[in-house]
Amino acid sequence: MKKRQFVYMALAFLLLMGMSSCRKKSINNPLTVNSVGAPWELLVVMDKSDWEAPQGRALFEVLDADVPALPQSEPRFKISRCDNADFDGLLKPVRNILLVEISHIYSRPKIHVTEDMWANSQIVMRIVAPDNE
């Protein structure tokens, strides 16, 4: 009888400990790293030729526009850029990433937004288009 009571108490204790240790983030992979960078920093992954073309300059002007209603001039983002070929494991944990890919394999322009793709607290926006238009 005492053995059965001990087993029930041990199971109740383990169940209580298991339930109290659960958090909302426990669904995520515990091996995923935390994102790096400030909330206002943005990594644009885009080939240099596209970045220097008119569509790249237009994208830069939108991202670098001043935040409205501030007493001084402040850009929306601190922008960094790298080529698609240079985007590797070292840059994947950056907090905010904008992937731009222009290729004939796409039939129409699309925008995909993904959270926590390579790191926790990360936003990855992917823009794909068939051409520069």
Residue 111 sits at φ, ψ, to 5 deg, of -125, 125
Per-residue pLDDT of the chain (133 residues; tens, 9 = 90+): 556 655 556 655 555 555 555 555 445 567 788 999 999 999 999 999 999 998 889 999 999 999 888 899 999 899 999 999 999 889 999 999 999 988 888 889 999 999 999 999 999 999 988 877 6
How many CB atoms are located within 10 Å of the residue 96 CB? 20
Which pLDDT does position 32 carry in this prediction? 82
- Which residues, 6+ apart, have CB-to-CB distance to 36 below 8 Å? 93, 94, 95, 119
Spatial distance between the Cα atoms of 119 and 121, rounded to a whole number of angstroms: 6
Which pLDDT does position 31 carry in this prediction? 74
| CA distances, 38 to each of 43, 78, 121 (Å) | 11, 9, 11
* Residue 51: both structure tokens together: 């970045």
Spatial distance between the Cα atoms of 40 and 127, rounded to a whole number of angstroms: 19
Which pLDDT does position 124 carry in this prediction? 94
